[in-house]
């Protein structure tokens, strides 16, 4: 089951780290980094049903 309630122990730090990860990258490099990160996290989750739920949720604009 997809966790939709806030679940990060340090959300501000995690967000800042994600933004800093893109510093100095071109738009194409940034997109490629995001794709690699998504695939790594999908592999970590490993549950197809959870991934399907996350993808449906991500399609919604808010």
C-alpha distances in Å from residue 11, one per residue of 15, 16, 28, 56: 6, 9, 26, 22
Burial 20-48 (b: 16+ CB within 10 A, else e): eeeeeeeeeeeeeeeeeeeeeeeeeeeee
The pTM is what? Answer: 0.87
Position 62 scores a pLDDT of 77
Is 41 a residue whose pLDDT tops 80?
yes
Confidence class of residue 24 from pLDDT cuts 50, 70 and 90?
very high
């Amino acid at each position: 089951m997809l966790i939709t309630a806030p679940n990060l122990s340090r959300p501000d730090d995690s967000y800042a780290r994600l933004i800093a990860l893109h510093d100095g990258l071109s738009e194409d490099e940034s997109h490629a980094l995001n794709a690699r990160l998504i695939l790594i996290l999908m592999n970590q989750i490993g549950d197809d049903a959870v991934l399907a739920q996350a993808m449906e949720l991500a399609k919604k604009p808010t």
